[in-house]
Amino acid sequence: MVKVITYGTYDLFHYGHQRLLERAKALGDYLIVGVTSDSFDLTRGKINAQQSLMERIESVRATGLADEIIVEEYEGQKIDDIKRYGVDIFTVGSDWKGKFDYLNEYCKVVYLDRTDGISSSEIRAEKWEIKIGLVGNSTLINKFEKESHYVNGISISGICTTDDTDLLDEIKSNYLVTDNLTELLNLSDAVYIVSHPTKHYEQVKYALEAGKHVLCESPIAIKTAEFEELRKLAEERCLVLMDSIKTAYSTAYNRMLVLAKGGKIGDIVSVDSICTSLSDLEKKTKRGTSLDEVWNSICAWGPTAMLPIFQLLGKEYVSKQITSHLIADHFDTFTKIAFVYPHAVASMKVGKGVKSEGELIISGTKGYIYVPAPWWKTDYFEVRYENPADNKRYFYQLDGEGIRYEIVSFLKAIQTGHISSYIDFGSSRQMVKLIEDFYNNNFVNI
């Protein structure tokens, strides 16, 4: 019996896949199809398969061509599979020509001609091409544009900015750059807003009223009443309004949450997060930018620093104290918030004019999780115990600081109508609430 094996994602199963499987089957008597898992696809750069692993397996099963279906989960699995199943022929489409020659050592390798004119990427792009306009004066616009190329099904419609100093030249020359939001909205299905937080409410509202989906750099507003109003407006109009915090989409961060919640360190008793950066404030001060145009510490870092606290301990803290250091009477170069929960405590320290070790520590009754600086864009963390021999280290690839996964989530939310944000509304609301407290002078000034 000649055993044949082939692998693929098989997203939005199409004629090209069908033909490949038919010819693969014809090469022998028994066909094994390896369908890639979502996490394996992530590590090989395929980030926006539309269908779940189960749906993709079901498409392959429905062809009736596969005698056996397996899941491909890790780099190097092909060799293990070939040995384990006694495979005679490995086959794949000609778009991979040469890439799998190394398998010749274990079995025969056959590249089958790829079917022209059809691909999952094109189907995704055709079905869902979403035009996103970028709004604001931040360098995050450059990052967002760069990351957008990794996600198919979206294009950038232009940039609305009142100060293009930080905008890359190639972006200025390739896209419409305007200071007129209406002009940009007319060309867009959705917007990413990263303007100064004091402008968010007005711009988010304007975009939603124009029927556009919104991804807004957190905080969405600086008053809870405004946040609630925007949320209601989005709901009424069936539009997506998503809070943007890239860390929420980092693989290491999410695995860390699961381990912490799963009891790996026992009961969680304390969460301590620190986020600081000096360069933005320094650069803008030198340039003479008004402080009113610069993100202060609580807005720039507050939502990121609060994220693990709310996601691990919930939003129902018993008390909190905000302490800030101000310059020019209103701009916090440093803020600390101490929280007390019924059975735990938490603290966050954020700074735009104060530097510290940007680490995250989650303390539990059996051990602790240590995420080294800069924890908000880490690919690595450790679970540590009293006996160092029990310590475990975890690595996960982080591409594009999480931004590209965030874009995928936003896109999926638009396409499916289901919010697939990793940040729940309760957390977003609580972030706004604390920022509102700060603006209402509910803090100790040091």
Q: Is 93 in the site for ligand C2G (CB under 6 A)?
A: yes
Which listed range, 6-14, 57-65, 181-189, 269-277, lies at the site for ligand C2G (CB under 6 A)?
Answer: 6-14
Element (H, E) at 366: none
Residue among 93 and 303 whose Cβ is closer to ligand C2G: 93
Q: How far is the CB of 323 from ligand C2G (least distance, A)?
A: 52
- Local structure of 370: helix, strand or coil: strand
User: Binding residue for ligand C2G (CB under 6 A) from 114, 199, 315, 325?
Assistant: 114
Determine the interface stretch with ligand C2G among 4-12, 186-194, 259-267, 278-286 (rule: CB under 6 A).
4-12
CA–CA–CA angle 409, 402, 224 (5° rounding): 65
Do 446 and 325 form a contact (C-beta atoms < 8 A)? Answer: yes
Q: How many residues does the chain have?
A: 446
Q: What are phi and psi of 164, to 5 degrees?
A: -95, 15
Report phi then psi at 365, rounded to 5.
Answer: -75, -15
Write down the least CB distance from residue 38 to ligand C2G, Å: 13
Among 3, 4, 5, 17, binds ligand C2G (CB under 6 A): 17
The residue of the chain with the least Cβ separation from ligand C2G equals 93
Nearer to ligand C2G, 58 or 359 (CB): 58
Q: Which stretch binds ligand C2G (CB under 6 A): 92-100, 147-155, 366-374, 426-434?
A: 92-100
Q: Using CB under 6 A, pick the residue from 10, 150, 253, 310 that binds ligand C2G.
A: 10
How do 30-36 and 68-72 pair as beta strands?
parallel
Find the helix or strand (DSSP H, E) in which 375 lies: none
Q: How many residues bind ligand C2G (CB under 6 A)?
A: 18
Q: Closest distance between ligand C2G and the C-beta of residue 111, in Å?
A: 8
User: How far is residue 427's CA from residue 131's CA, in Å, rounded to a whole number?
Assistant: 28
Q: Please, what is the minimum distance in Å from the beta carbon of residue 118 to ligand C2G?
A: 5
Distances (CA, A) of 305 to 148, 222, 309, 348, 376: 25, 16, 8, 6, 8
Residue 158 CB, nearest distance to ligand C2G (Å)? Answer: 32
Of 36 and 311, which has the nearer Cβ to ligand C2G?
36
Which range of residues in 113-121, 189-197, 382-390, 418-426 is near ligand C2G by CB under 6 A? Answer: 113-121
Q: Which is nearer to ligand C2G, 399 or 424 (CB)?
A: 399
Return the HEC string of 155-168.
EEEEEECCCCCCCC
Per 3-state DSSP, what percentage of the chain is helix, strand, and coil (rounded to 5)?
Answer: 40, 25, 35
- In the complex, the smallest distance separating the C-beta of residue 86 from ligand C2G, rounded to whole angstroms, is 20
With tokens 């109508």, the residue in question is 417
**What CA–CA distance (Å, rounded) separates 336 from 349?**
4
Q: Which residues contact 441 (CB under 8 A, 6 or more apart)?
A: none
Contact call for residue 364 and ligand C2G (CB under 6 A): no
Please check whether residue 239 is in contact with residue 213, taking contact to mean a CB–CB distance below 8 angstroms.
yes
Min CB(114)–ligand C2G separation in Å? 4
Write out the two tokens for 352: 């735009």
Within residues 115-144, the interface with ligand C2G by CB under 6 A covers: 115, 118-120
Give the start-end residues of each E strand in 300-379. Answer: 319-327, 331-340, 345-351, 360-364, 368-371
Strand partners, 36: 72
At its nearest, how many Å lie between ligand C2G and the CB of residue 11? Answer: 6
Q: How far, in Å, are 142, 172, 175, 277 from residue 169 at the CA level?
A: 10, 5, 10, 25
Is 167 a binding residue for ligand C2G by CB under 6 A? The answer is no
∠ at Cα 38 (34, 43), nearest 5°? Answer: 95
> Of 111, 113, 121, nearest to 45 (Cα)?
121
In the bound state with ligand C2G, the residue whose beta carbon lies nearer, of 61 and 330, is: 61
Alpha carbon distances (Å) from 26 to 9, 65, 94, 112, 441: 21, 10, 17, 11, 74
Q: How far is the CB of 92 from ligand C2G (least distance, A)?
A: 4
Provide the minimum distance between the beta carbon of 122 and ligand C2G in the complex, in angstroms, as a whole number.
9
Shortest distance in whole angstroms from residue 200 CB to ligand C2G: 39
Q: Which lies closer to ligand C2G via its Cβ, residue 118 or residue 446?
A: 118
Q: How far is the CB of 56 from ligand C2G (least distance, A)?
A: 8
How many angstroms separate the Cα of 191 from the Cα of each of 185, 196, 210?
A: 8, 15, 11
| Residue at 422: amino acid letter | Y
Contact flags string 30-69 toward ligand C2G, x per CB under 6 A:
------x---------------------------------
Residues that bind ligand C2G (CB under 6 A): 7-11, 16-17, 20, 36, 92-93, 95-96, 114-115, 118-120
